[in-house]
Structure 1
């Protein structure tokens, strides 16, 4: 069945998800703030800043008018940076004229409040204007999805029917979706793996090899699980697609902005210079601060996260942070 879907956020991930939805026969509206970018999408059918080698389907229509983009749609998919979720959700709430299924594919925690994205959406969009909130997350590079590489991710919601609905609208022969009811676990895994990916990049930049990477990912997953479980997540979620799956893809690929940022830190570049050169949001930097503060509040032991926080925010060198980690007292696994 054909559905009308507004994709909010015309970066690489939002554009790639729009491509999947359009190919599956849906009416897709892609919203963004930049007039020139939307003109390029509508006239040249490209989005060269974010997906330089991809031709977009003519059926994907670009909008800068949010009211027009979400008018009478069945689904609203948020793919904006975490720091913009609340402000965009407020706008959506003021403009919606009928209830819609609210989906998000953003991976992060809100600064100061430390809230997950679904919590922000629930606060800003009244129950009367949303049929359900669904999280779309898992191991997925936008560039590979746009090229129709095999990808498998998770549709998570407390509303089983809504999770299955989102599964149905996205599924095809290269994009497979599994449902999950553990929203907390899926969102925490999605957000926290970006911290570990920064660390993996740092190791590469410093010249360390596979042993160090395996240690970081394994012990990093233990930290992710500990913090997630302290908020009520199912520990089994972290060995699934939105846990270890997302961790693997983000810690091992040059496609990952978090890995690339960490790699440059390992090479000795300054964080402000790195963030300016990236031209896109590096969610792991802000998430590190949020996770560090959350762990302190909850009394959860997260030594790797603490070390990465020290490098990003306390002017500790990467080698000093690694030495501190490696010389801690021995403990059981």
Structure 2
């Protein structure tokens, strides 16, 4: 897998989803590679703020987002054609969100979970929820987790992040997508 000319879909335009979009955009700019990042937000005012002002002021105050980040409230449109689909919704909304976009996700897309916690009703981990909803092979599922806080990362403060996958090459590809050095 290469990192050039990648289209990324991020489901969830809260602080963590928007921050991850910024990390990907900044890393691509550092590597002088093109990237298209589409964020899905449920609320029109968040979509408008991102597309018009290049900010997500509700979640990330005055942090300016790169121009390659756009937003839409059409989740299927956001994921269609994306090589990397990042899911950053609350754990209790993961199954519904994945079910909503399952048919639009490409069969070779890599899925990244930024979700913390378990599904309360089933006590299922997010890897189990993703597998059940998407029939996803393990080499296409990656977890990205802290210890970190979205605002620390958005402000480019030192933090630690773990990229985990059963398949090392997939984890390395996702980690490379976020690297700025």
Normalising by structure 1, we get a TM-score of 0.50
Corresponding residue number in structure 2 for 1:216 = none
Corresponding residue number in structure 1 for 2:14 = 11
Corresponding residue number in structure 2 for 1:118 = 127
Cα separation, 1, equivalents of 2:170 and 2:132: 19
> Which of 63, 85, 88 is matched with 2:97 structurally?
88
Cα separation, 1, equivalents of 2:126 and 2:19: 20
Q: Is it true that 1:146 corresponds to 2:154 in the alignment?
A: yes
Q: 1:131 to 1:75 in 2, by over 3 A?
A: farther
Cα separation, 2, equivalents of 1:170 and 1:24: 5
3-state SS of the aligned residue for 1:134? strand
Structure-to-structure mapping, 1:229-308, within 5 angstroms: none
Query: CA contact under 8 A between 1:22 and 1:57: conserved in structure 2?
Result: yes
1:141-184 CA distance string (max 9 Å, x none) = 111111111222111111211111111111224xxxxxxxxxxx
Q: Gaps (5+ residues) in structure 2?
A: 29-34
Cα separation, 2, equivalents of 1:58 and 1:97: 25
Corresponding residue number in structure 1 for 2:73 = 64
Corresponding residue number in structure 1 for 2:32 = none
Corresponding residue number in structure 2 for 1:163 = 171
Corresponding residue number in structure 1 for 2:115 = 106
Query: CA contact under 8 A between 2:36 and 2:69: conserved in structure 1?
Result: yes
Count of aligned positions? 172
Structure-to-structure mapping, 1:168-187, within 5 angstroms: 168-173=176-181
Greater relative contact order structure (CA < 8 Å, 6+ sep): 2
Q: 1:111 to 1:69 in 2, by over 3 A?
A: same
3-state SS of the aligned residue for 1:46? coil
Q: Gaps (5+ residues) in structure 1?
A: 174-333
Cα separation, 1, equivalents of 2:82 and 2:15: 22
3-state SS of the aligned residue for 2:17? helix
Cα separation, 1, equivalents of 2:85 and 2:106: 13
Taking only aligned residues, the RMSD between alpha carbons, in angstroms, comes to: 1.5
Instruction: State the Cα distance separating 1:97 from its structure 2 match.
Output: 4.1
Instruction: State the Cα distance separating 1:99 from its structure 2 match.
Output: 2.4
Q: 1:69 to 1:131 in 2, by over 3 A?
A: farther
Quick check: which one's helix share is greater?
1
Cα separation, 1, equivalents of 2:74 and 2:20: 20
